[in-house]
């Protein structure tokens, strides 16, 4: 049976629930006024779900909904004003920290490390390899004996050369004796000639006085001439003996060269490292017979390391011998090396159009080995400038430049710098000189220092000295 009082109570409860639903919705959605229709439909659905049979109760419910709907138009405005008052009308800005960077993509290539110098230690003589004193990875210094080759035959050759040298030196001594004898003979004949000449002068004088016969005087003159001829013969003998001495000395010198060669060849039995480095490879084991030219060891100099990189011919004009190069190694990810471009090959690969280049980096601690993957950046750190987004540059009217707007090199622009003013932040307009632009970014040649905070984007047009607040997207200093 229908009970009006009970029906009225149900209607009141439904209206209260509807108003409560409106309040809750107002806090999250309704006071923004965008989902108003959805709100009303939900309240009506809520009321109808109670299956009211009285039009008066329905009218009361619709009246409650109308009141709530009416409040929708006034509440957002009041809320926005309250929010604006709480924030004090301060403009929100996105802030970034000025840093130096590359405007364009870096010229980066990959390569592998190789020793600064790599030598092959080869045998220079024939013989059995008796010993190797090193193994792969061992460090050796210049002049260190790394191995020995059998030198028995070389010792025999050396002894023979020394014996022949001694014999030739004896010949030189005998030849010198002959020269001395010849010189003595010359001196004797010279004295005999002088005596013969004196006798001839006396005999001529006596012949003129008639004291002796003419035949006696002629015999004296003949003796003097004979003595003169004997002197000439003795002098020629001295020359002959001296030539023999010179020839013997020449043979001695030649034999000395043979002896030196034998000694040198014997020294080849010792395998000596010509550089300071590390053993890279061992080709022949002890006990094997080696021939002249056989490779025994490979030694690499790692005091410096070379990196061989193939560079595109399109980038050749940007490279120069001696320029600084940044190198990073995957084996040491936390370190960066500064190298030097030492060589650019004059011949490019005709198929790939790549040009071989060579970069040298220091290896002070000796940790860098051969075959390590390297990443090479040819751009010089001294060429870096501060790079900012193009939208951070303001026009003369104070509006941010658009992304598509062209920025010409070395033009003047304006950047807003964020400065601390007690507990507040203010912006200060600063003129800057612009450089190149690429990929929505622009270089700042001067006017902005690394570490300064600048405005990237703002919610409205900024004025010099205006108070601002940093958005949650802003970059903060450490």
pLDDT at 129: 94
Q: How much is the average pLDDT of 440-452?
A: 87
pLDDT at 478: 67
Q: List pLDDT tens digits, range 359-371.
A: 999 998 888 999 9
pLDDT at 70: 44
CATH number of the 94-102+384-470 domain: 2.40.420.20
Side by side, the strands of the sheet bearing 289-290 are 270-272, 145-149, 127-132, 289-290
pLDDT at 34: 40
Q: List pLDDT tens digits, range 289-316.
A: 999 999 999 999 999 999 999 988 888 8
Q: What is the DSSP letter of 439?
A: T
pLDDT at 220: 78
pLDDT at 383: 64
Q: Which among 407, 154, 379, 406 is positioned nearest to 259, based on CA atoms?
A: 154
pLDDT at 258: 92
Query: Quick one: how far is CA 350 from the chain centroid?
Result: 26
Provide the phi-psi class of 88: left if phi over 0, else alpha when psi is between -120 and 50, else beta: left
How much is the CA Rg of the chain, to the nearest whole Å? 55
Superfamily of domain 299-382: Efflux pump adaptor protein, beta barrel domain (2.40.30.170)
Q: Return the exposure string of 429-449: e unless at least 16 CB atoms fall within 10 Å of the residue's CB, then b.
A: bbebebbbbeeebbbbeebbe
Q: Which among 109, 96, 91 is positioned nearest to 441, based on CA atoms?
A: 96
Q: Is the pLDDT of residue 50 over 60?
A: no
Q: In terms of pLDDT, which residue wins out, 97 or 72?
A: 97
CATH topology of domain 153-267: Helix Hairpins (1.10.287)
pLDDT at 245: 87
One DSSP character per residue, 173-229 reads: HHHHHHHHHHHHHHHHHHHHHHHHHHHHHHHHHHHHHTSS-HHHHHHHHHHHHHHHH
Same fold? 94-102+384-470, 153-267: no
Q: In terms of pLDDT, which residue wins out, 19 or 140?
A: 140
- Domain borders along the chain are 4-86, 94-102+384-470, 153-267, 299-382
Q: Which two tokens stand for residue 374?
A: 């390297």
pTM: 0.53
Q: Which among 304, 279, 295 is positioned nearest to 140, based on CA atoms?
A: 279
Of 84-93, 163-172, 317-326, 399-408, the one with minimum mean pLDDT is 399-408
pLDDT band at 55 (very low <50, low <70, confident <90, very high): very low
pLDDT at 401: 54
Mean pLDDT for the chain?
Answer: 78
Q: Is the pLDDT of residue 403 over 60?
A: no
């Amino acid at each position: 049976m229908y009970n009006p009082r009970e029906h009225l109570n149900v209607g009141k409860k439904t209206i209260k629930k509807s108003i409560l639903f409106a309040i809750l919705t107002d806090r999250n959605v309704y006071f923004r006024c965008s989902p108003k229709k959805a709100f009303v439909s939900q309240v009506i659905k809520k009321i109808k779900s109670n299956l009211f049979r009285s039009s008066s109760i329905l009218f009361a419910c619709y009246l409650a909904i109308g009141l709530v709907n009416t409040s929708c138009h006034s509440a957002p405005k009041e809320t926005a004003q309250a929010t604006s008052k709480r924030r004090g009308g301060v403009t929100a800005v996105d802030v970034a920290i000025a840093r130096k960077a590359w405007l364009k993509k870096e010229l980066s290539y990959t390569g592998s490390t190789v020793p600064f110098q790599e030598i092959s230690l080869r045998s220079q003589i024939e013989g059995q390899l008796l010993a190797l004193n090193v193994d792969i990875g061992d460090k050796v210094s210049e002049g260190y004996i790394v191995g020995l080759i059998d030198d028995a035959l070389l010792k025999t050759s050396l002894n023979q050369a020394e014996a022949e040298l001694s014999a030739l030196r004896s010949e030189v001594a005998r030849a010198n004796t002959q020269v001395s004898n010849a010189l003595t003979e010359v001196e004797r004949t010279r004295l005999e000639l002088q005596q013969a000449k004196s006798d001839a002068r006396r005999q001529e004088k006596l012949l003129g006085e008639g004291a002796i016969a003419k035949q006696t005087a002629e015999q004296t003159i003949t003796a003097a001439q004979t003595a003169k001829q004997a002197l000439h013969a003795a002098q020629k003998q001295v020359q002959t003996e001296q030539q023999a001495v010179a020839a013997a000395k020449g043979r001695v010198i030649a034999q000395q060269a043979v002896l030196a060669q034998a000694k040198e060849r014997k020294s080849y039995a010792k395998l000596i490292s010509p550089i300071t480095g590390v053993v890279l490879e061992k080709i022949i084991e002890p006990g094997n017979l080696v021939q002249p030219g056989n490779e025994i060891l490979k030694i690499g100099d790692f005091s410096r390391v070379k990196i061989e990189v193939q560079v595109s011919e399109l980038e050749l004009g940007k490279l120069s011998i001696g320029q600084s190069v940044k190198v990073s190694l995957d084996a040491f990810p936390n370190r960066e090396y500064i190298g030097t471009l030492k060589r650019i090959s004059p011949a490019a690969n005709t198929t790939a159009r790549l040009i071989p280049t060579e970069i040298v980096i220091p290896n002070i601690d000796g940790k860098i080995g051969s075959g390590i993957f390297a990443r090479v950046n040819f751009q010089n750190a001294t060429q870096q400038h501060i790079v900012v987004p193009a939208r951070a540059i303001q026009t003369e009217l104070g509006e941010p430049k658009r992304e598509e707007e062209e920025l010409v090199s070395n033009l003047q622009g304006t950047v807003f710098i964020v400065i601390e003013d007690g507990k507040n932040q203010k912006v200060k307009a600063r003129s800057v000189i612009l450089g190149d632009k690429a990929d929505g970014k622009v270089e700042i040649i001067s006017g902005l220092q690394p570490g300064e905070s600048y405005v990237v984007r703002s919610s409205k047009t900024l004025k010099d000295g205006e108070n601002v607040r940093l958005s949650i997207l802003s970059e903060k200093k450490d």
